Chain A
Amino acid sequence: MDQLFLIKFLIPLFWAISFMFAPKNNERTIKLLALIGSIVTLSYSVKMFMDLTDPAVLQTLLKFEMPLFFNISYTFAMDGLSGLLLLLNAFLLLVVVVATWDIKTEKLRLYYFLIFLLTWAVNGSLLSTSLYGFYIFWEVMLIPLFILVGVFGGENRRYASFKFFMMTAAGSILMLASMCFMSAMAYKLNGSYDLNYEVINSLNLKYDGFYSPQSLIFWSFTIAFFLKVPVFPFHSWLPDAHVEAPTAGSIILAGILLKLGIYGFLRFVIPLFPEAVSANRDIVLYLGATGVIYGALTAWVQKDIKKLVAFSSISHMGYIIMGVFSQNPFAVKGAVFQMIAHGISTPGLFIGVHYLYTRRHTKKLDQFGGLAAVMPRFAVLFFIITAGSMAVPMTCGFVGEFMIIMGTYQINKVVAMLAATGIILSPIYLLKMYHLTALGELVHEENKTLKDISFLEATPLIILSVFTVVLGLYPKLVMGLFDGTINFFVNKGL
């Protein structure tokens, strides 16, 4: 057990609180405070990750009894999978702080407060191995994002934040209902409300058709996670949220929050409700494949660059959900890899969009074109990120998608073939996006005087581009970190 874990874990929370006491009118101090906070968070996350002796095994970081909270035992634990996502979360925090360094708002303290609070809640969800803990942090993270979109978002921010909150919270309530049901069963069986792995397994939830307890609980969890991922047809909040959210919100949302739904499947649904997963596998696979095609086709027709990236997310998340539910270890590993790849490329695209928007104050694709001539640095870096997103070989996006399709093909050929069309569609819409922004003639007068990105602005894009290429060339760098965890799921549920 890590004696200092609690302190490390609470750092983002304390940092968030510290913004309340920061000098109101000293923008520079507040931003520096945020930068230091994000570096500290990333440092301890790296340290925690390095301390993992065996990434295949859930390593307990802190365990304590909570006699006053329904008498449960609470465990914070980490394995390769959660560790990797923890790293991604901390890394994205730093990316957000650097990429939005130019933010101009009177509510800067509130802005950073919400971002750090969100990071803390995501960490809490990733490290909690009991359902209670996972649920608590899962709910807590809704509030800062709701306020972040609602206060710092675009014109229709109120509508978008409402929609995001309502849809994801509705899923949470379904999950809570199932937890109450399992708690009641656990109490009858053991005289305790605790809901950890062992207890849920001991409930012997039977699966014999749709109306059996395991099936109903599986679906309530699955809908909650579908809404978070989001999987077609539960996706309608995502484009609105992305379009209206400030860049920080979009980066965190696409980079890590969507992955928590997938993480929930891997951590809880697949190991705990294996029969229901097997029985409903094909439904989910088809939904995933539909999401891939639907997301890609819808992205293709978008005129708003941010909306295009949002729909591309739906398409990519379709692959991931397919991989996770394919019950093939190769595809599951591909799905986890794709989570990381998507967590690198999509935030990169949003950062690119942010730079364009701050210069031109529009997100309309037809307002750009030929930017490579005036913004060469931006054009190069944006191209690498775009290539990663469209799964060009030797970029990180390719590895995951390839593994998912290969793995799924062994299980369901039709689904794999349907999903493979996404490989054709993604270059179409992403190249269209790149072409309409960076290539061609400089038609609009306003674009001729645009300044290229500064070194500070380029930094996050450079880092993300490096990761895009390095992970594409040497995927084993991260693959080895969650191999053991996936094998655990293979033995448990798949």
Chain B
Amino acid sequence: MENFTFVQNVLIFLSINAVSLLCLNLKKYGKYISYATTLIAAIVFFASLFDANSYGISDLFTLEGNKILLLKIVSVLNVFMILVNGYYSLEKVKNSVLMSYMFLGGVFLLGANDLMTFYVALETIALVGYALVATSGLENSREAAVKYLIQGSVISAIFLLGVAFYLGATNSLTLVGASVINQEFYAIALGIFILTTCFKLGAFPFHAWIADVYSNVSLGNLAANFFISKIIIGFKFITLLQVLLLECDPHFQDILIRIIQVVAVMSAFYGNIMALVQGQFKRIIAYSSVAHTGYMLMMVCLNPDDAYETQLICYLVIYSLTATGIILILNQFAELNKNQDGKNILKGGFYKNKALASMLVVFVLSLAGIPLTSGFAMKYMLFTNYFKEGFTIEATSIFISSIIGLAYYIRFVSDLFSEETNTVLPAIKTRFSETLVHVIILVSIFSVGIAPSLFLGLK
């Protein structure tokens, strides 16, 4: 399975991006050259994946099956995000370059088969994440980045401790096929990995960074950060924990699964309740992401299964796409209002740009799980799976928490249709690339909503 074509592709991607980074320093055409090279690198990398089925570099790194599928999806999203960012300002080009590095970290995380590769990839994503927050240019961006960095570093240190326990429990750092010789150490290691998962995905009670980061990062950067970190980290951690839990002693396994269930239910309730009382839309999205983390964290409790993996990918991609779409539209409204805080940015939005507002309504209703949108199909599938596996009480609890979610999602709609504000604002002009991305998100929401079986691998 050794395949050095992939290494070659990664090296090409890395080199072109290094050129982009250097070009940023050129005075006159720097940002254009940098943007073009970043875009070319992303497109070339996506093209190189086009007919790939599997990649492997020794036992450290393998990409096959659903991972390849996910990589292809994220690659194309990366291209779109670069397109959306555009070449208009140096800041945005800088973000595109940073995003490419984050993407690269994501690629390695996805294929990581041993804990060292895993750790390095995770840190690459996190470091770029800190940089994206710090360079947002908002009043408290740096403070948020430092908080994020400190909390992230502590979690990294704890994760390393988990790695040590894992090593002690299995005499190996490999994540596949390691035989457990000390169940106590193994359970502690898994406990620490669960904690890391909760932090990285922003589950209760390790969610504190989410609201800070979301509210102090520019919406464009948030969107960029969102889809790569959420999709890949979410997928990798959940599928990894599913596999690792199988090797655990039934007694410890039961305890760990209980912990995950409690965290999932608490996240769903806490995220939804907190989102309800927020004033800023960015904070609403932040807390709604805590709730959604709760919804999907329950998947750790399911047995590893190809169909569930496909559904998880679909859930993550659709959720991230929809949230990214919402953030991008909020960004457009915020720019129009010269108000990055986003408290009243949607008031009367429908009368300023009907198309944009209508799209935002669809995106939000999808997150709320209204039928014929992807949100409904995903929610239906996810919860049916939980019921199927016997998690009746947990699934019902999460369902009940989602009732609260409706209240803040519908606030978006209510604001958009509320009366025009007194100040006359110009109509919102959207760039072609932005419109393209919105349309793609819209099509994917309805495609998955109307034909879910096609995407969820249902028979």
Judge whether B451 and A177 touch: CB under 8 Å. no
Judge whether A147 and B451 touch: CB under 8 Å. no
Residue of B nearest to A138 (CB): B371
Complex CA gap A116/B403 in Å reads 27
How many A residues are at the interface, by size bracket?
35 or more
Complex CA gap A401/B356 in Å reads 50
Produce 1/0 per residue, A411-430, CB < 8 A to B.
00000000000000000000
Interface-side segment among B213-221, B285-293, B411-419, B423-431: B411-419
Give the distance to chain B from A221, nearest Cβ to Cβ, in Å. 14
Complex CA gap A368/B422 in Å reads 35
Residues of B within 8 A of A67 (CB): 453
A150 close to chain B: CB less than 8 A: yes
Asked if A183 meets B380 with Cβ closer than 8 Å, knowing A140-B372, A147-B413, A177-B395, the reply is yes
Produce 1/0 per residue, A143-187, CB < 8 A to B.
100110011000000100110011001100110110111011101
Complex CA gap A26/B181 in Å reads 80
Asked if A180 meets B406 with Cβ closer than 8 Å, knowing A68-B453, A135-B371, A162-B414, the reply is no
Residues of B within 8 A of A173 (CB): 399-400, 402-403, 406
Residue of A nearest to B358 (CB): A20
Give the distance to chain A from B200, nearest Cβ to Cβ, in Å. 28
Residue of A nearest to B387 (CB): A184
Judge whether A68 and B451 touch: CB under 8 Å. yes
Produce 1/0 per residue, A178-198, CB < 8 A to B.
011101110110010100000
Produce 1/0 per residue, B195-224, CB < 8 A to A.
000000000000000000000000000000
Complex CA gap A136/B414 in Å reads 21
Give the distance to chain A from B407, nearest Cβ to Cβ, in Å. 6
Residue of A nearest to B403 (CB): A170
A-B interface contact total, Cβ < 8 Å: 96
Judge whether A68 and B413 touch: CB under 8 Å. no
Residues of B within 8 A of A446 (CB): none
Q: Which of B358-383 contact A (CB under 8 A)?
A: 365, 369-372, 376, 379-380, 383
A358 close to chain B: CB less than 8 A: no
Residues of B within 8 A of A150 (CB): 413-414, 417-418
B452 close to chain A: CB less than 8 A: yes
B410 close to chain A: CB less than 8 A: yes
Give the distance to chain A from B279, nearest Cβ to Cβ, in Å. 16
Judge whether A147 and B417 touch: CB under 8 Å. yes
B458 close to chain A: CB less than 8 A: yes
Residues of B within 8 A of A162 (CB): 407, 410, 414
Q: Which of B391-450 contact A (CB under 8 A)?
A: 392, 395-396, 399-400, 402-403, 406-407, 410, 413-414, 417-418, 450
Asked if A71 meets B453 with Cβ closer than 8 Å, knowing A162-B414, A177-B396, A183-B380, the reply is yes
One of A143, A177, A188 near B365 (C-beta < 8 A): A143
B388 close to chain A: CB less than 8 A: yes
One of A68, A140, A147, A174 near B370 (C-beta < 8 A): A140
Residue of B nearest to A171 (CB): B403
B251 close to chain A: CB less than 8 A: no
One of A70, A151, A177 near B399 (C-beta < 8 A): A177
How many B residues are at the interface, by size bracket?
20 to 34
B384 close to chain A: CB less than 8 A: yes
Q: Which of B52-102 contact A (CB under 8 A)?
A: none
Asked if A69 meets B410 with Cβ closer than 8 Å, knowing A176-B380, A180-B380, the reply is no
B28 close to chain A: CB less than 8 A: no
A139 close to chain B: CB less than 8 A: yes
B27 close to chain A: CB less than 8 A: no
Residues of B within 8 A of A165 (CB): 406, 410
Complex CA gap A140/B406 in Å reads 14
B338 close to chain A: CB less than 8 A: no
Give the distance to chain B from A151, nearest Cβ to Cβ, in Å. 5
Complex CA gap A341/B166 in Å reads 72
Give the distance to chain A from B98, nearest Cβ to Cβ, in Å. 39
Residues of B within 8 A of A158 (CB): 414, 418
One of A70, A180, A191 near B383 (C-beta < 8 A): A180
Residue of A nearest to B354 (CB): A20
Residues of A within 8 A of B452 (CB): 68-70
Asked if A169 meets B453 with Cβ closer than 8 Å, knowing A180-B380, A187-B384, the reply is no
Complex CA gap A179/B383 in Å reads 10
Complex CA gap A166/B413 in Å reads 13
Complex CA gap A127/B387 in Å reads 29
Residues of B within 8 A of A170 (CB): 403, 406
Asked if A183 meets B417 with Cβ closer than 8 Å, knowing A173-B399, A173-B403, A176-B399, the reply is no
Give the distance to chain A from B318, nearest Cβ to Cβ, in Å. 16
Judge whether A184 and B388 touch: CB under 8 Å. yes
Judge whether B370 and A177 touch: CB under 8 Å. no
Residues of A within 8 A of B379 (CB): 176
Judge whether A166 and B388 touch: CB under 8 Å. no
Q: Which of A50-102 contact B (CB under 8 A)?
A: 67-71
Complex CA gap A169/B450 in Å reads 21
Residues of B within 8 A of A191 (CB): 459
Residues of A within 8 A of B451 (CB): 68-69
Give the distance to chain B from A184, nearest Cβ to Cβ, in Å. 4
B454 close to chain A: CB less than 8 A: yes
Complex CA gap A179/B372 in Å reads 16
Residue of A nearest to B379 (CB): A176
Judge whether A140 and B453 touch: CB under 8 Å. no
Residues of B within 8 A of A188 (CB): 388
Judge whether B384 and A166 touch: CB under 8 Å. no
One of B387, B400, B402, B459 near A181 (C-beta < 8 A): B387
Give the distance to chain A from B459, nearest Cβ to Cβ, in Å. 7
Complex CA gap A139/B409 in Å reads 15
Residues of B within 8 A of A69 (CB): 450-453
Residues of A within 8 A of B396 (CB): 177
Complex CA gap A183/B377 in Å reads 13
Give the distance to chain A from B382, nearest Cβ to Cβ, in Å. 9
Judge whether B453 and A187 touch: CB under 8 Å. no
Judge whether B395 and A180 touch: CB under 8 Å. yes
Judge whether B387 and A169 touch: CB under 8 Å. no
Complex CA gap A170/B379 in Å reads 15
Give the distance to chain B from A73, nearest Cβ to Cβ, in Å. 13
Residue of B nearest to A213 (CB): B392
One of B376, B399, B406 near A166 (C-beta < 8 A): B406
Residues of B within 8 A of A166 (CB): 403, 406-407, 410
Residues of B within 8 A of A187 (CB): 384, 388
Q: Which of B313-368 contact A (CB under 8 A)?
A: 365
CB pairs A–B below 8 angstroms (9 shown): A70-B453, A146-B414, A147-B417, A166-B410, A170-B406, A173-B400, A177-B399, A183-B384, A191-B459
Excluding A158-B418, A176-B399, A193-B384, 8 further A-B contacts by CB distance (< 8 Å) are A135-B371, A136-B371, A143-B413, A170-B403, A176-B379, A183-B387, A184-B385, A187-B384
- 6 closest A-B pairs by CB: A68-B451, A184-B387, A136-B371, A184-B388, A177-B399, A180-B383
